[in-house]
Amino acid sequence: MLTINKNKSGLKIIIVGCGKVGSTLVEQLTQEGHDITLIDKDPARIQAITNAYDAMGILGNGATYSVQKEAGIDDADLLIAVTDSDELNLLCCTVAKRVGKCVTIARVHTPEYSKEAKYLKDKLGLEMIINPEYECAKVISRILYLPTAEEVSSFAHGQVEMVKIRLPEGNKLDGKRVMDIGHDIMANIVFCGVERDGQVFIPSGQFILKEGDLISFVASRYDTKRFLGKIGFKTGQVKDTLIVGGGKGSFYLADMLIKSGIEVRIFEKIKERCEVLSVLLPKAIIINDDGAGEDALKEAGLETVDAFVPLTGIDEENVLLSLHAKQVSNAKVVTRISRNNFKGILDNMDLGSVVYPKYITSDAIIAYVRARQNTKDSNIETLYKMFDSKAEAIEFKVESESDLTDTALMNLKLKDNLLIAFINRHGEIIFPGGHDEIHVGDSVMVVTTHTGFNDIRDILR
């Protein structure tokens, strides 16, 4: 069961843009006790969100002084601009920095702006620039580097991976206690979450794994592949990938894959965009077709390709393409879904790995919001929501001494349904036992079914 840890004092946050990311932010930030004001030009959008959540809505242009003034910019802690326009988002943040004292975050999509993120942050005084398509492409690329995994997330500046797999029939982990796996198969693996029949467990050593479980484990990048190999999973990255749709997300993904030596073919229906992609991605094969026809997909090699990623921008089309690919090929399929209206139905479909860009974006922003609230004792470096937000993995930087530093973990009074997955001490990764301690300067990853932690001390009862 998910337990919400209410913040001691919420921030006053203005969100400009009531689209997919904006509404997701409202949902999560109101749950965590923040004071939210929305700005959007669409009255229907504002009405829908303010009816569903405890938030105030203002109709208007979020880049204007008068509208920001009405929204309370003078005493706001944070302004987050997530409209569909990069330029409007940057302008909203620029105005907010001139008229208020708040921190600003802008969502951008355009590759040129992403390349100049550091310059824009410095010159415009932005705290964060986040590009959903780029972040989504990073998530997909990590999955394709380890295609037998359902999800792959990175922690400790890339030194540690959290991998989610589904335990197949007849696997050697089926029926094993977690505590026996380190002895019988391989040490330095921490099992931090199991989903079974819709329920999420933070497994103890006595927990017995079963066929069909969705399992998340943490290991170093090197040990991840070794462990998967030992339990019968393939560990090589894909050799070639077929992408449908030639938008910004496809460009980012193709660029990453090509740099890793993976061959890429892209379907794009607009001729002018094909010409642009041919210049930007000279090593990719660009096919001027919408990729929706069975014959075109077959001719492009769908039946033999290692990976298939539909990125059309239309959820329904992505779902149909993924279902078709699962029927006619053994490719690793990754499905991008922008909305979650029918998430319950989608979860019961065989769509391969499913990624939701809006959650990737909102998780990064919420991690920053929580970090803004923290005390001087710690700071949040990474936040990752697991198992459809039923659990969280949080990486804290321990900034100063507290009740939990320099004390053996076995002597700490930790909350239930919580696990300390690893300690990063000056680049050395420690998978802790009861005698290990947390020191000032460490980064500590905590996995828990509680949510809302913004300080390392929140792990204590």
pLDDT digits 0-9 by tens, 63-93:
999 999 999 999 999 999 999 999 999 999 9
CATH number of the domain residue 373 falls in: 3.30.70.1450
Please give the average per-residue pLDDT across 34-44, as a whole number.
Answer: 95
Q: Which positions ≥6 away from 222 have C-beta within 8 Å?
A: none
Distance CA 217, CA 163 (A): 6
Asked if 299 and 390 sit in the same domain, the reply is no
- Token pair of 409 as six digits: 């973990």
Residue 120 belongs to a domain: yes
With bands split at pLDDT 50, 70 and 90, how would you rate the model's confidence at 3?
very low
With bands split at pLDDT 50, 70 and 90, how would you rate the model's confidence at 139?
very high
**Which of the listed residues 355, 387, 422 is the one where a domain comes to its end?**
355
Task: Write down the pLDDT at residue 9.
Answer: 64
Asked if 84 and 118 sit in the same domain, the reply is yes
Residue 222 belongs to a domain: yes
Please give the average per-residue pLDDT across 104-108, as a whole number.
Answer: 93
Among residues of the chain, what percentage have pLDDT more than 70? Answer: 96
Task: Write down the pLDDT at residue 385.
Answer: 87
Please give the average per-residue pLDDT across 280-298, as a whole number.
Answer: 95
Q: How far is CA 183 from the centre of its chain?
A: 32
Asked if 383 and 415 sit in the same domain, the reply is yes
Please give the average per-residue pLDDT across 342-354, as a whole number.
Answer: 79
Residue 31 belongs to a domain: yes
CATH number of the domain residue 56 falls in: 3.40.50.720
Asked if 378 and 418 sit in the same domain, the reply is yes
Please give the average per-residue pLDDT across 245-268, as a whole number.
Answer: 96
3-state secondary structure the chain: CCEECCCCCCCEEEEECCCHHHHHHHHHHHHCCCEEEEEECCHHHHHHHHHHCCEEEEECCCCCHHHHHHHCHHHCCEEEECCCCHHHHHHHHHHHHHHCCCEEEEECCCHHHHHCHHHHHHHHCCCEEECHHHHHHHHHHHHHHCCCCCEEEEEHHHCEEEEEEECCCCCCCCCCEHHHHHHHCCCCCEEEEEEECCEEECCCCCCECCCCCEEEEEEEHHHHHHHHHHCCCCCCCCCEEEEECCCHHHHHHHHHHHHCCCEEEEEECCHHHHHHHHHHCCCCEEEECCCCCHHHHHHCCCCCCCEEEECCCCHHHHHHHHHHHHHHCCCEEEEECCCCCCHHHHHCCCCCEEECHHHHHHHHHHHHHHHHHCCCCEEEEEEEEECCCCEEEEEEEECCCCCCECCEHHHCCECCCEEEEEEEECCEEECCCCCCEECCCCEEEEEECEECCCCHHHHEC
Task: Write down the pLDDT at residue 78.
Answer: 94
Q: Which positions ≥6 away from 76 have C-beta within 8 Å?
A: 12, 13, 14, 37, 96, 100, 102
Please give the average per-residue pLDDT across 118-146, as a whole number.
Answer: 90
Task: Write down the pLDDT at residue 6.
Answer: 46
What are 195-220's pLDDT values in tens digits? 999 899 999 999 999 999 999 999 99
Residue 50 clears pLDDT 60, i.e. is over it: yes
Please give the average per-residue pLDDT across 435-449, as a whole number.
Answer: 96
Q: Give residue 379's domain range.
A: 362-459
With bands split at pLDDT 50, 70 and 90, how would you rate the model's confidence at 222?
confident
Instruction: Look up tokens 């697991």; give the residue.
Output: 386
- Token pair of 264 as six digits: 């890429």
What are 376-391's pLDDT values in tens digits? 556 888 888 899 889 9
Task: Write down the pLDDT at residue 312.
Answer: 95
9 or 177, which is more confident?
Answer: 177
**Which of the listed residues 106, 130, 154 is the one where a domain comes to its end?**
130
For 249-263, 317-331, 333-347, which range has the lowest pLDDT when averaged over its residues?
333-347
Residue 409 belongs to a domain: yes
**Count of structural domains within the chain:** 4
Residue 170 clears pLDDT 80, i.e. is over it: yes
Please give the average per-residue pLDDT across 280-307, as a whole number.
Answer: 95
Asked if 217 and 272 sit in the same domain, the reply is no
Task: Write down the pLDDT at residue 208.
Answer: 97
Residue 285 belongs to a domain: yes
Task: Write down the pLDDT at residue 109.
Answer: 86
For 5-9, 307-311, 441-445, which range has the lowest pLDDT when averaged over its residues?
5-9
Asked if 46 and 61 sit in the same domain, the reply is yes
Task: Write down the pLDDT at residue 376.
Answer: 53
Instruction: Look up tokens 């974006």; give the residue.
Output: 361
Q: How far is CA 22 from the centre of its chain?
A: 16
Residue 1 clears pLDDT 50, i.e. is over it: no
Residue 405 belongs to a domain: yes
Please give the average per-residue pLDDT across 247-261, as a whole number.
Answer: 96
Asked if 51 and 83 sit in the same domain, the reply is yes
Asked if 350 and 384 sit in the same domain, the reply is no
**Which of the listed residues 67, 101, 130 is the one where a domain comes to its end?**
130
Distance CA 13, CA 152 (A): 31
With bands split at pLDDT 50, 70 and 90, how would you rate the model's confidence at 263?
very high
Asked if 348 and 252 sit in the same domain, the reply is yes
Q: What type of residue sits at position 229?
A: G
Residue 276 clears pLDDT 50, i.e. is over it: yes
Please give the average per-residue pLDDT across 156-178, as a whole number.
Answer: 93
Residue 370 clears pLDDT 90, i.e. is over it: no
Residue 235 belongs to a domain: no
Asked if 263 and 351 sit in the same domain, the reply is yes
Residue 380 belongs to a domain: yes
Q: Which positions ≥6 away from 201 have C-beta within 8 Å?
A: 193, 194, 195, 207
Average pLDDT, the chain: 91
What are 355-367's pLDDT values in tens digits? 988 888 888 888 8
Asked if 21 and 116 sit in the same domain, the reply is yes
Task: Write down the pLDDT at residue 445.
Answer: 96
Q: Which positions ≥6 away from 117 have C-beta within 8 Å?
A: 108, 129, 131
Asked if 157 and 48 sit in the same domain, the reply is no
